[in-house]
Structure 1
Amino acid sequence: MCAGIADIDLLSMTWEDLLFAHWRVDPAVVEEHLPGGLTVATYEGDAYLGVVPFVMSSIGPRLAPLDISFGELNLRTYVRETADGSGAGPRGVYFFNLDADDRLGVAVARSVFQLPYYRAAMTVDAAGERVAFRSQRPDGSASFAAAYGPEGDAFVPEAGSLEAFLVENYRFYTADDRGGIWYGDIDHEPWELAPATADFVTNELFAANGFDHPAGEPLLHYSPRIAVTAGAPRRV
């Protein structure tokens, strides 16, 4: 974990019913979509684009979380800072978009946290361990619909594994409208994942962010929930 808990206690939240769907892609495809100051992080030479739908709940000040919940959906990749010119700086998640079914939260996240949030109408229906997730922005773009759930025993990713590369990230990056790079640190217990199955009805997130849909089948994992604390973003 990249920061002490005292540095990242601004907000607390719980993430629930998460699907991690990761497609392997050519690093050059991702690199051309990144702002200056960041470079794509790879695992055994491959870059990854991840689609992650989930439910955000109990978000608020760390000692007084609010009893609210809403759907959230993001397209992400993995990057390193290049401020020192080596490309070996701190590693984290880079968000191309974060869609959420919470009007106030989207406005706050955009203005205060410099995050690329978009308002979207979402429905999340859970029946047992199966989740049906739908999302669409008011202009009809970035439509997403999938049904997913676990299929197999839960495990904690081993250090150095592909699964750890994809999920054990404790820093996020984003770019503001002027090209400035911001980062924020988060903290949580290690992920518990299970292999997953998913049926994608529609997935326009790649097109909405200027990507062709990657070839091949995604690597799928499910996690039921995790408690998270987060600090305020800072300028790189």
Structure 2
Amino acid sequence: MAEIAASQQLIAQRRLKFRFMMHDAWENALFVHWPVAPEVVAKLLPRGLEPDILEGSAWVGLVLLTERGVSAAHPLGRTLVRPIDHLGANIRTYVRHNDVPGIFFWSLECSSILASLGARLAGIPYYPASMEREVDQEPFAATGEQAKPLAATAEGFTFTFSSTRSGLLRRPTVSAQWHLLPETSGDDKFSQRATWFVERYSVYAAWPLGQGPLLLRGDVEHPQWPVQPAALDHLAAAPLLEAAGLEQLAAQQRAGEVQPHVCFSRGVGPVNFWMLEPV
């Protein structure tokens, strides 16, 4: 695949040639995307990044997922600190720097305090949160046995997901319920959009704490995402969008004025992260 081949070329050119983190898998991921005027997104990006454009728009994404086996990449690190399973929710957009496409995160909610602290040290704006997820009324336990990811042909499953950021003051929230639709064939627009959204193999961050002056890029290795359509039964994401500075989109989402692109993936893995480095 072209995106994976391009990412391998970037990795070969890196100065910091080591993996610092790995995940055994990303599973049961919901991707929700809204078109936004490029100038709105550009105002919220650190210097050096510009919005990546599809169909004349920048895009804002909400991703809800389960992250399995999060740990240091080195075998000794995995031995000293047991790999963590946790839920995640993030608000992102798609950007370019020197024509290299990637993801920029405004926020990432995480049900593990340890994982949140580790990511913040690397410059990625993680926030600990209280999170719950159910699949057909079967709850997910972050420290329990690993459930098998859904089969490639899975459809009809109903998911619920909720998150409330930890803290004493403002506590942005998100909640969603969705179900899977049959696989589509011949829907080129759906497939082209989904591929553009999910096949991203670089992450940009502004250090420190996602707001500083130093622009970093980390690279990611994982298999191609398998995706299928999904339908939202309920979505309340406005508080999380507002916290990212996207007040107009938050108002539109609350009023149901913009229909998002929605897709689902049963997951990918393993996932390897190369250390963030200045660009």
- What TM-score, normalized to structure 1? 0.88
CA distance in 1 between partners of 2:234 and 2:206 (Å)? 29
Query: What is the percent sequence identity of the aligned residues?
Result: 27
Q: Is the 8 A contact 1:154 1:192 kept in 2?
A: no
CA distance in 2 between partners of 1:95 and 1:189 (Å)? 21
SS of match in other structure, 1:15: strand
Structure 1: tracts of 5 or more residues without a match = 83-88
Q: Please state if 1:193 is matched with 2:227.
A: yes
Q: Please state if 1:221 is matched with 2:263.
A: yes
CA distance in 1 between partners of 2:32 and 2:220 (Å)? 21
Higher mean alpha-carbon deviation, 202-211 vs 127-136, is at: 127-136
Q: Deviations over 1:121-148 (max 9, x none)?
A: 1011122832211100123521111112
Higher mean alpha-carbon deviation, 132-141 vs 224-233, is at: 132-141
Describe how 1:36-51 pairs up with structure 2 within 5 A: 36-51=47-62
Q: What residue number does 1:57 align with?
A: 68
Q: Is the 8 A contact 1:101 1:119 kept in 2?
A: yes
CA distance in 2 between partners of 1:56 and 1:23 (Å)? 24
**Distance of aligned partners of 1:23 and 1:95 in 2 relative to their CA distance in 1, 3 Å threshold:** same
Structure 2: tracts of 5 or more residues without a match = 139-156
CA distance in 2 between partners of 1:35 and 1:48 (Å)? 16
Higher mean alpha-carbon deviation, 23-32 vs 61-70, is at: 61-70
Q: What residue number does 1:3 align with?
A: 8
- What TM-score, normalized to structure 2? 0.75
Of Structure 1 and Structure 2, the greater helix share is in 2
Of Structure 1 and Structure 2, the greater strand share is in 1
Q: 2:179 aligns with which of 149, 155, 168?
A: 149
Size of the aligned set, in residue pairs, is 229
Residue 60 of structure 1: how far off its partner (Å): 1.6
Q: 2:128 aligns with which of 112, 119, 127?
A: 119
Describe how 1:74-223 pairs up with structure 2 within 5 A: 74-82=90-98, 89-111=99-121, 113-127=122-136, 129-139=157-167, 141-153=171-183, 161-177=192-208, 178-203=212-237, 204-212=239-247, 213=250, 214=252, 215-223=257-265
Q: What residue number does 2:145 align with?
A: none
Q: Please state if 1:20 is matched with 2:20.
A: no
CA distance in 2 between partners of 1:198 and 1:181 (Å)? 35
